[in-house]
Amino acid sequence: MADEQTLDTQNPEAQAADAVAAGDDLAARVQTLEEQLAAAQDQSLRMAADLQNVRRRAEQDVEKAHKFALEKFAGDLLPVIDSLERGLELSSPDDVSIKAVREGMELTLKLFHDTLARYNLEVIDPHGAPFNPEHHQAMAMEESIHAEPNSVLKVFQKGYVLNGRLLRPAMVVVSKAPTTLPPSIDEQA
């Protein structure tokens, strides 16, 4: 019993030291757990943001796929439209023998244009407009005293835009300022 009393008298100090050590250990453990919790919450927020970004990109990809699905098909139809337009340009509207054929070509071309417009395919016909390198391809430059410099004089081939995206640029001839001025009339002579 005396041994127990001796242990009890030494025990309060040991118990206090153990309590302080246990308190420090608990505080360190609580801090470690709080850091782990903060890291897990941060990781969770990052994963949620990544998932939201993946969904947004997927939605944009699907939207672009729907919007530009007809791009290749429409591009393959453009030479047909060009041929119909050239046929109309080269045929005479006064020739009675081809009047029915010409009317059929005009109706077919109108049907093509209406169908393309329904699918947001717009024609670029820049005759007389200022040259725009984003939608026009300059094939040649020609001096002109009648047109503003850098304006479109002739259109070799019309361009097309599908839903705001350039499908084919318009091939054009661009005006430039004359190098020599035309002779002026001498009114005093």
Q: Torsion over CA of 72, 73, 76 and 82, rounded to 10 degrees?
A: -120
Strand spans (E) along the chain: 121-124, 136-143, 152-157, 159-162, 165-168, 170-176
Q: What is the pLDDT of residue 61?
A: 87
DSSP state of 131: P
Q: What is the pLDDT of residue 64?
A: 81
Q: What are φ and ψ of residue 170, in 5° steps? A: -75, 135
38 class by beta-carbon count within 10 Å (0-12 exposed, 13-18 middle, 19+ buried): exposed
Name all domains of the chain by residue range, CATH numbers in brackets.
123-179 (2.30.22.10)
- pLDDT confidence bin for 62, thresholds 50/70/90: confident
Please state the pTM of the whole predicted model.
Answer: 0.63
Q: What is the pLDDT of residues 25-52, one digit of tens each?
A: 888 899 999 999 999 999 999 999 999 9
Q: Which residue has the higher pLDDT, 188 or 133?
A: 133
Please choose, from the candidates 69, 73, 80, the residue with its C-alpha nearest in 3D space to the C-alpha of residue 163. 69
pLDDT at 174 > cutoff 80: yes
pLDDT at 186 > cutoff 70: no
Q: What is the pLDDT of residues 101-148, one digit of tens each?
A: 999 999 999 999 999 899 889 999 898 899 999 999 999 999 888 888
Query: How far apart, in whole angstroms, are the C-alpha atoms of residue 56 and residue 79?
Result: 37
Q: What is the pLDDT of residues 68-79, one digit of tens each?
A: 788 888 889 999
103-121 as b/e: b if 16+ CB within 10 A: eebeeebeebeeebeeeeb
Helix axes 99-118, 71-90, angle to 10 degrees: 150
